[in-house]
């Protein structure tokens, strides 16, 4: 389909002889917030790394904006990477640079903007995520929630068409987590950017997700695909039901 | 700008025209176009612009929106006619608001020479205080260990003996042999002019046993072990493992520092001895090549190098080892936050150890001279 920005076909990941998942097939549509969910150890982060080309698939193919990122090299790879942004679980900001300098790194690498322009764009990106007054602070001097916001600002520096977020809510208090969910939905609505979010935080999934897939460790693959709220209400697969109706699991435990 | 007309086209097709006192943008204004137009747009803004017309902009990236907002700011908050295209107008509003919420940070305050000197002096005094405090903590730890020796973590001690000692032997053998060879060659060349090459074994033997063996072994220990101690303890500090030990009622100094210092102190005389012996072997090979047989070399060494020289060198090595262990551990425990701090701690451990070893060596030289050794 023309408005699919990610197409994944029969993807498999293996570490040695251990299969993490296989036969994973889905597509992500332009402008939606797409959630990859599942329990711990089901391969969510591995799938993210496969999508952005950090590790090669054992089988199948993942095309991001038409490109199999793991097979691109040199300039085509650079150009393809400039069209996506990634926010890592812990922010992955460079510790020796302040927030403004961190956000300016991709601008320095991929554009010919002069230094003052890079700084202005970086400040604007920080302002967009509510960190306008923290531009000169070092990553070690800010909280976990601010680190994630700064990570989003850096990931958005080049106006990417797709933003990948790895566990944006992990380790955050409920209020900060809800604030981050608001930020994601606002950015998705206002900028039209496609978001691919890896998370197992149920509240976040229901708050931000337009569509989702669910991976399962035992099934070694996808066990559900669809709108998260519909899956919560209508899923028939016992594990999907258990995941979305957390209270049932707790009662059984 | 009055009466001035100018036009600039970005590589990808965005156009910037300045006519009268209006700066007019049209076409797609993406990141690449904004980068291309930025210098001329700012120059035009500084020359004087009363309004910015962006109605002709058909698409606008975040960077392009920042360009328009910055041009307006540099032109004294000149008004912007927003793009006709709805999403571009939205982008311009969003990025303008974001930029307004993130004003340029003020330049760092200028610090005068007097203030800087004062800060340096205060910092130095504080550093000395913490060093003395840490030394006191270690001494108390030793006292506690002497009272309850079974509290020493033997397995940890053996691990560090292995890491600091056994795994450093190969490097010491290599360096010792090379130092012996180099010293023998370098001293043989001038001494041959005086027909005194038979004195090379005495010269190299005394140099190695009294001075160079312990010193080079200390450099090896500082490079390998002090940095490893600092990095390991620094990472533990960053990961809050040190805090966790404290909260469990475990003294980090007794638990982590004493086994490391003891291991460094114990391995250093052994490393120095390895360095001495391999250096003498290397020197022996060179002497053989110069026509002086091993028996003659051995006789010269027995006549000139005393057991006192050897013990003096090994005692120095022991003190060097304890000092290097102490400095490595202190650097690790004083680590700040983040990966950069761990790197700083490792650097500080190596530099501090090398300086301390050279200073101590100088003190030993004076003491040995006074004692007539």
Tell me the shortest Cα–Cα distance from B61 to chain A, in angstroms. 7
Do A77 and A183 belong together in one domain?
Answer: yes
- Give the residue ranges of DSSP H helices in B148-257: 154-164, 169-193, 200-206, 213-221, 227-238, 241-247, 252
> Which CATH number covers residue B86?
3.30.750.24
Does residue B2 have a pLDDT over 60? no
The tens digit of pLDDT for each residue in B79-93 reads: 888 888 888 888 889
The minimal CB distance from A128 to the residues B31, B69, B98 is found for: B98
The minimal CB distance from A124 to the residues B87, B95, B105 is found for: B95
Name the domain boundary from A137, A159, A181. Answer: A159
Radius of gyration of chain B (CA): 34
Please compute the mean of the pLDDT values over residues B282-307 and round it to a whole number.
91
Please compute the mean of the pLDDT values over residues B263-282 and round it to a whole number.
96
User: Which structural domain range is residue B188 located in?
Assistant: 129-371
How many residue pairs from chains A and B have C-beta atoms closer than 8 A?
A: 94
Does residue A248 have a pLDDT over 70? no
Residues ≥6 apart with Cβ < 8 Å to B270: B165
Cα B140 to chain centroid, rounded:
30
Percentage of residues in chain B having pLDDT higher than 90: 49
- Dihedral angle, C-alpha A37, A193, A82, B54, nearest 10 °: -170
Q: In what order do the strands lie in the sheet with B15-19?
A: B5-9, B15-19, B22-29, B51-60, B80-81
Name the domain boundary from B100, B118, B149. Answer: B100
Task: Kindly report the backbone phi and psi dihedral angles of residue A62, in degrees, each rounded to the nearest multiple of 5, phi listed first.
Answer: -120, 120
Query: Do residue B66 and residue A192 have CB atoms under 8 angstroms apart?
Result: no
Do B321 and B360 belong together in one domain?
Answer: yes
How far, in Å, are B41, B42, B43, B44, B68 from residue B15 at the CA level? Answer: 11, 15, 16, 14, 13
Tell me the shortest Cα–Cα distance from B283 to chain A, in angstroms. 48
Chain B residues close to A132, C-beta within 8 Å: 98, 101-103
Q: Is residue A4 in a domain?
A: no
Alpha carbon distance A163, A85 (integer Å): 5
Which burial class, exposed, middle or buried, applies to A130 when counting CB atoms under 10 A from its CB (0-12, 13-18, 19+)?
A: middle
User: Which structural domain range is residue A186 located in?
Assistant: 31-57+66-83+161-253
The tens digit of pLDDT for each residue in A154-180 reads: 998 998 999 999 988 877 788 878 888
Chain A residues close to B42, C-beta within 8 Å: 116
pTM over 0.95: no
Kindly give the pairing relationship between strand A194-198 and strand A162-166.
Answer: parallel
Chain B residues close to A192, C-beta within 8 Å: 87
Query: Do residue B34 and residue A159 have CB atoms under 8 angstroms apart?
Result: no
Domains: count for chain B: 2
The minimal CB distance from A139 to the residues B35, B87, B338 is found for: B338
Which burial class, exposed, middle or buried, applies to B328 when counting CB atoms under 10 A from its CB (0-12, 13-18, 19+)?
A: buried
The tens digit of pLDDT for each residue in B218-272 reads: 999 999 999 999 999 999 988 888 888 887 888 889 889 999 999 999 999 999 9
- By the 8 A CB rule, do A87 and A164 touch? yes
Name the domain boundary from A159, A190, A205. Answer: A159
Q: Is residue A14 in a domain?
A: no
Report the residue of B36, B102, B340 to disrupt the A interface, i.e. the one with the largest count of A CBs within 10 Å.
B102
Do A169 and A52 belong together in one domain?
Answer: yes
Angle between the A144-155 and A174-191 helix axes, to the nearest 10 degrees? 10
Does residue B6 have a pLDDT over 70? no
Please compute the mean of the pLDDT values over residues B101-122 and round it to a whole number.
89
Do A77 and A199 belong together in one domain?
Answer: yes
- Closest to A215 (Cα-Cα) out of A234, A193, A198, A203: A198
Residues of A with CB under 8 A from a CB of B: 95-96, 100, 107, 111-114, 116-117, 119-121, 123-128, 130-133, 135-136, 138-140, 156, 158-159, 190-192
Please compute the mean of the pLDDT values over residues B349-355 and round it to a whole number.
96
Does residue A135 have a pLDDT over 50? yes
The predicted complex's ipTM stands at 0.79
Do A238 and A169 belong together in one domain?
Answer: yes
The tens digit of pLDDT for each residue in B135-145 reads: 999 999 899 88
Sorting pLDDT into bands at 50, 70 and 90, what band is B44?
A: confident
What pLDDT shows up at residue A196?
95
Name the domain boundary from A140, A159, A178. Answer: A159
Residue A75's CB is within 10 A of a number of other CB atoms, namely 8
Please compute the mean of the pLDDT values over residues B290-299 and round it to a whole number.
90
What pLDDT shows up at residue A117?
93
Angle between the B31-48 and A115-128 helix axes, to the nearest 10 degrees? 110
Task: Kindly report the backbone phi and psi dihedral angles of residue A14, in degrees, each rounded to the nearest multiple of 5, phi listed first.
Answer: -135, 145
Report DSSP state, residue B52. E
């Amino acid at each position: 389909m023309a408005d699919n920005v990610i197409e994944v076909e029969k993807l498999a990941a293996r570490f040695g002889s251990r299969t993490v998942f296989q036969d994973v097939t889905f597509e992500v549509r332009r402008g939606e917030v797409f959630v990859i969910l599942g329990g711990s150890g089901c391969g969510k982060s591995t799938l993210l790394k496969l999508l952005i080309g950090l590790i090669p698939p054992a089988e199948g193919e993942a095309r991001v904006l038409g490109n199999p990122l793991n097979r691109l090299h040199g300039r085509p790879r650079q150009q393809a990477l400039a069209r996506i942004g990634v926010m890592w679980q812990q922010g992955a900001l460079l510790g020796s640079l302040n927030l403004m300098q961190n956000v300016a790194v991709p601008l320095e690498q991929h554009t010919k903007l002069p230094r003052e322009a890079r700084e202005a764009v970086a400040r604007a990106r920080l302002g967009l995520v509510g960190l306008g007054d923290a531009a000169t602070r070092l990553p070690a001097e800010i909280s976990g929630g601010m680190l994630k916001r700064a990570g989003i600002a850096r990931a958005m520096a080049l106006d990417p068409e797709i933003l990948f977020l790895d566990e944006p809510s992990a380790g955050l208090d409920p209020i900060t987590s809800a604030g981050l969910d608001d930020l994601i939905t606002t950015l998705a609505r206002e900028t039209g950017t496609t978001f691919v979010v890896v998370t197992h935080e149920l509240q976040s999934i229901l708050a931000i997700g337009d569509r989702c897939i669910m991976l399962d460790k035992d099934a070694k693959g996808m066990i559900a695909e669809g709108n998260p709220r519909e899956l919560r209400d209508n899923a028939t697969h016992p594990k999907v039901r258990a995941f979305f109706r957390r209270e049932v699991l707790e009662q059984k435990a | 700008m009055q009466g001035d007309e100018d036009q600039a086209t970005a590589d990808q097709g965005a156009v910037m025209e300045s006519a009268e006192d209006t700066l007019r943008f049209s076409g797609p204004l993406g990141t690449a176009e904004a980068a291309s137009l930025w210098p001329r747009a700012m120059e035009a803004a500084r020359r004087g612009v009363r309004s910015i017309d962006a109605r002709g902009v058909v698409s606008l990236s975040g960077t392009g929106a920042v360009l328009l907002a910055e041009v307006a700011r540099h032109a004294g908050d000149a008004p912007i006619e927003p793009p006709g295209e709805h999403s571009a107008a939205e982008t311009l509003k969003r990025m303008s608001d974001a930029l307004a919420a993130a004003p340029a940070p003020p330049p760092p305050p200028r610090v005068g020479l007097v203030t800087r000197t004062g800060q340096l002096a205060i910092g130095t005094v504080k550093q000395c205080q913490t060093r003395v405090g840490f030394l006191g903590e270690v001494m108390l730890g030793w006292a506690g260990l002497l009272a309850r020796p079974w509290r020493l973590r033997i397995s940890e001690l053996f691990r560090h003996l292995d890491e600091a000692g056994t795994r450093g032997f190969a490097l010491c053998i290599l360096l010792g042999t090379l130092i012996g060879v180099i010293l023998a060659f370098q001293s043989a060349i001038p001494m041959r002019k005086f027909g005194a090459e038979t004195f090379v074994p005495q010269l190299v033997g005394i140099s190695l046993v009294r001075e160079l063996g312990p010193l080079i072994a200390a450099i090896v220990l500082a490079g390998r072990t002090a940095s490893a101690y600092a990095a390991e303890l620094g990472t533990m500090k960053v990961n809050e493992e040190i805090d966790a030990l404290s909260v469990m009622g475990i003294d980090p100094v007794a638990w982590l520092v004493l086994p490391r210092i003891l291991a460094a102190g114990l391995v250093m005389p052994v490393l120095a001895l390895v360095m001495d012996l391999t250096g003498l072997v290397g020197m022996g090979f060179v002497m053989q090549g110069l026509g002086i047989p091993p028996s003659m070399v051995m006789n010269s060494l027995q006549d000139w190098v005393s057991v006192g020289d050897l013990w003096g060198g090994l005692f120095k090595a022991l003190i060097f080892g304890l000092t290097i262990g102490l400095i490595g551990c202190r650097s690790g425990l004083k680590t700040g936050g983040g990966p950069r701090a761990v790197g700083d701690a490792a650097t500080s451990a190596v530099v501090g150890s090398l300086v301390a070893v050279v200073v101590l060596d100088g003190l030993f030289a004076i003491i040995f001279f006074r004692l007539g050794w």
